[in-house]
Amino acid sequence: MLVKDIRECSYFTAGDGSILCELLHPLREKEEISLHCSIAHARLPAGKSTVPHKLKESAEVYYFLEGEGTLHINQESAEVKPGKAVFVPPGAVQYLKNTGDGDLLFLCIVDPMWREDDEEVINQCRTRRDSFAERSQ
């Protein structure tokens, strides 16, 4: 039996700017587990947004636990709050904005499991800089 306690997890800032701890990831567990997805607990502080990004091959489900925000997927957006689950298909550009006064807490379930080489962070600063350089020429 594998039991993980969220209070014993280490948090880190992910490439999209959210604060994560991996609860379950088949490749990082001390014992082998038969699981195709990974599960992370995420936190986004009040007033913050994640950086637009996409997973090229994996789908995600966000399940919201606390707080409120707006999740943007491609050209659509939806208000999110506790109890809501949102499916994010592979290849969809997504970002999340915390619109509440406290932390936005949620679970990220990624299937197949999250891999660094599957994630692409959309570099908005480079795009703006490139556009400026093109206008200046």
Residue-wise DSSP of 73-95: ETTEEEEE-TT-EEEE-TT--EE
Confidence of residue 119 (pLDDT cuts 50, 70, 90): very high
Report the pLDDT averaged over residues 40-58.
97
Q: In the beta sheet, which residues pair with residue 57? A: none
Q: In the beta sheet, which residues pair with residue 38? A: 110
Instruction: Indicate the pairing of strand 59-66 with strand 85-88.
Output: antiparallel
Q: What domains does the chain contain, in order, with CATH numbers?
A: 10-136 (2.60.120.10)
pLDDT of residue 105: 98
Contacts of residue 3, defined as CB under 8 A and 6 or more positions apart, other chains included, come to none
Q: Which pTM does this prediction carry?
A: 0.85
Confidence of residue 31 (pLDDT cuts 50, 70, 90): low
